[in-house]
Amino acid sequence: MNQNKYQQDPNLDRFLDHLWSVQGLSDNTLSAYRTDLRHLDKFIQQQGSRLLYVEQSHIQLFIEHRFKAQPAKTSQARMLSSLRRFYQYLLSTKQISRDPTALIDSPKLGQKVPTSLTEVEVDALLSTPNEEDVIEARDKAMLELLYATGLRVTELISLTVDQISLRQGLVRVVGKGDKERLVPLGEVAVEQLESYYTKVRPQLLGDKISDVVFPSKRGQKMTRQTFWHRIKHYAMISGIHSELSPHTLRHAFATHLLNNGADLRVVQLLLGHSDLSTTQIYTHVAKARLQQLHQQHHPRG
């Protein structure tokens, strides 16, 4: 089939609509699914077939074709995950009788240990913003809240005033798939937020009205990129040279809890992980830290 005459299979849009309406996936995730499945759709049409009639051999050929130039295991795993989910949807809606991806093995991936910060580095980072400056005072409140709760950056910038109860010391977080969880704030974060609400937020908003907890200079919801640049700015000033990510403080939150004896399942609930195996990666960080301390301080280390 001539690629210029490609016509997208209508099942793709139905599947994506299902993910959006039923499972509440983000636009970025939906875009990744769309890209992966359009590649498959085009490939299958070029083979003279359609998505509903795909066999396991088609999927294997497609994966080999797709990753001939870029054989990264992470990319293969993500692509296969998209295909599996699509064919499980077709199976559940009785459009196919068997899943052509069922017997295809996922590439084995090594666990990537997330970059974290030591407690000393976190203290340095959190003490860097100048509270006499309105923007930096806002940033300090955000950093304190991030470290106290382990929120994802998207969850943090999306917080609205009615999600935080300073009296109860809790934040109601709307996470992935619109799942809600309650996370305690801790005394330091509560004090920081009380000061922020009283002295800083009114100056940021001026005569504007917004329910966003941490508005930008324009009184609007901040972007992930803006906050990420702010974190890197303070890290540079505080002399932190570790490789950072937007979730560095989330990783530090989890690691430091485990280092201090927290139960893994409690950390799982606080982070909003649906699967305990996702949380278990932090035990590797905690163990590595304990081994380092043992070697430094034990007389026979």
- In the annotation, is 42 catalytic? no
Q: Are 54 and 62 in contact (CB under 8 A)?
A: no
Residue that the structure tokens 């970025």 belong to: 28
Compute the distance between CA of residue 255 and CA of residue 125 in angstroms, rounded to an integer: 17
Who's near 119: CB < 8 A, 6+ residues apart? 256
Catalytic residue among 201, 230, 251, 273: 273
Compute the distance between CA of residue 272 and CA of residue 247 in angstroms, rounded to an integer: 14
Catalytic residue among 33, 87, 89, 282: 282
- In the annotation, is 53 catalytic? no
User: Residue 164: helix, strand or coil by DSSP?
Assistant: strand
- In the annotation, is 172 catalytic? no
Compute the distance between CA of residue 55 and CA of residue 83 in angstroms, rounded to an integer: 12
Q: To which H or E segment does residue 136 belong?
A: helix 134-149
- In the annotation, is 176 catalytic? yes
Q: Are 182 and 172 in contact (CB under 8 A)?
A: yes
Residue 271 structure tokens: 């982070």
Catalytic residue among 230, 247, 251, 256: 247
- In the annotation, is 250 catalytic? yes
Catalytic residue among 138, 140, 152, 256: 152
Catalytic residue among 18, 34, 42, 176: 176
Catalytic residue among 138, 250, 251, 256: 250
Catalytic residue annotation = 152, 176, 247, 250, 273, 282
